[in-house]
Amino acid sequence: MIIKNASEISLTPLRRDALDIIEAGIKSVLPSALLKSAVAYNSTSRRLTVHKKSYDVSSGRIFVIGAGKAAGLMAQSLETIINPEHITEGVVNCNSGDYQTRRIEIVEASHPTPDERGVNGVRKMLALKDSHSINENDLVICLISGGGSALLPYPVEEISLEAKRRITELLFSCGADIGEINAVRKHLSRVKGGRLGKFFQPATVLSLVISDVIGNSIETIASGSTAPDPSTFKDAWSVLTKYDLLRKAPRSVMNFLKRGCWGEVEETPKSLDNCANYIIADNSLALESMAQKAKEIGLSPLIVTARQKGDTSTAAYMRAKEILSGKYANYDAILVGGETTVNLPTNHGTGGRNQHYAAVSMLALKDYAGEWVLASVGTDGSDFLPGVAGAIVDNNSPVKAKNKEIDIQSYLNRCDSNTLLSKIGGSLIVTGPTGTNVSDVTVYILKGKRQKQEK
């Protein structure tokens, strides 16, 4: 079981169904199954095939690099497809080192805050080029997944890792979206924004990507390390201006971005002829598997969107309003995917966007007359807090809060959803690191009338 505490929080039949649906979604995007369906290798002819595109490595060698929350399991799975003896060497950064590989070194590094272990891992990846004289006959396979930005840290020489961490924290806390955050991060890095792919020229760089980004923008996933970058230094400067961060950002960051805007620093590559990027899984795949599981249970599912974004509270109230209005009256399992953003107050508590979404929904669905349950998780197993994947709440949760004299709104005001849900009990979903990451998935199961009837 992926959900470790399922027996503790499966308090009703609807809760059990919701957790089974979540479980099916995460299982469908685990790298072991994904790579086998996307990648084939002929040891005799030494041809690698990805999504029907064939690569001849009979006169060259295979190297493996990469980073992300799923990169460790991807590397382990890749060695079951490609004969490890045919992989010359590899280095992959992951937030867990508990994987069994023969030729690919797994470097355990920190996420979401990058650390020196991650930097050293990147140095090892780059060192492969000179130590093996990688050339145009060679193939560099890059394994990329969500979390790759933090797990592929290598700031430009003028900026310390601490300064890079500081500006990233500011960007996340101000409500900037992932595209805006990455526009800044890419221009402060020696490997992001296509620079990693460019570094390994003239070798062919083939990236296998598990997407955690809405819309699967290849230049955004893990900051697009092997994809051409359409953003510029001026775009990065505009992001800091938009969120009033010019006076808060480290001086070294501001000075470097200024030099870039003035044309004194080389821009990120706008084309990369040696790179090919293949998305092998995304949020939609997880939602489709969840819908199939819902049908098996006997429910009537509807996938509303795989692109939910924006403010977490706003999104939760919008979905609740749609449910209460009867918009989904013909369905009893509503599926949603994407990634929202919690706008944190100055003195905020603890939690994550999935926990906050679930907590807000307790109030947003208060006028639903029948039974309902909502489960929302980060598919990587970490809803900002490493030990919590997300949360499950139902029509009984507000009743429990009232009986315990818990003021739900006061916790929401200070974004303290983890404390709130812990006090209510039976609400936090625990998986541990799943080995994959396609952003967040949410399921509503609805039974009964959509709205309280007027007397």
Q: Once rounded to an integer, what is the mean pLDDT over residues 241-263?
A: 96
For residue 104, the surrounding DSSP H or E stretch is: strand 104-108
Helix (H, G, I), strand (E, B), or coil: what is residue 12? coil
The residue type of 118 is: G
pTM of the model: 0.89
Indicate whether 450 pLDDT > 60. Answer: no
For residue 433, the surrounding DSSP H or E stretch is: none
Model pLDDT, residue 218: 94
Instruction: Report whether 199 contacts 205 (CB < 8 A).
Output: no
Q: Which residues contact 52 (CB under 8 A, 6 or more apart)?
A: none
Within 335-450, residue ranges assigned H as helices are 353-364, 397-403, 408-413, 417-424
Alpha-carbon distance of 299 to 293, in angstroms, equals 9
Using 50, 70 and 90 to split pLDDT, how confident is the model at 346? Answer: confident
Boundaries of every domain in the chain: 6-27+283-447, 31-281
Alpha-carbon distance of 323 to 325, in angstroms, equals 5
Indicate whether 451 pLDDT > 50. Answer: no
In the block, which residue shows the tokens 């990169």?
71
Instruction: Report whether 274 contacts 204 (CB < 8 A).
Output: yes
Model pLDDT, residue 453: 39
Out of 3.40.50.720, 3.40.50.300, 1.10.150.130, 3.40.1480.10, the CATH code matching 6-27+283-447 is: 3.40.1480.10
CA torsion through residues 350, 353, 358, 364, sign = positive
Helix (H, G, I), strand (E, B), or coil: what is residue 135? coil
Q: Once rounded to an integer, what is the mean pLDDT over residues 318-340?
A: 97
Q: Once rounded to an integer, what is the mean pLDDT over residues 326-355?
A: 94
Alpha-carbon distance of 415 to 417, in angstroms, equals 6
Instruction: Please check whether the domain covering 31-281 is classified as CATH 3.40.50.10180.
Output: yes
Residue 342 φ then ψ, to 5°: -90, 125
Alpha-carbon distance of 109 to 117, in angstroms, equals 5
Indicate whether 362 pLDDT > 50. Answer: yes
Model pLDDT, residue 109: 96
The residue type of 197 is: G
Tokens for 245?
């961060």
Model pLDDT, residue 174: 85
- Three-class DSSP labels, 30-87: CHHHHHHHHEEEECCCCEEEECCEEEECCCCCEEEEEECCCHHHHHHHHHHHCCHHHE
Model pLDDT, residue 172: 85
Model pLDDT, residue 449: 59
Tell me the pLDDT of the chain averaged across its residues: 95
Model pLDDT, residue 454: 37
pLDDT tens digits, one per residue of 25-78: 999 999 998 999 999 999 999 999 999 899 999 999 999 999 999 999 999 999
Helix (H, G, I), strand (E, B), or coil: what is residue 122? helix
Residue 276 φ then ψ, to 5°: -130, 130
pLDDT tens digits, one per residue of 395-441: 999 999 999 999 999 999 999 999 999 999 999 999 999 999 999 99
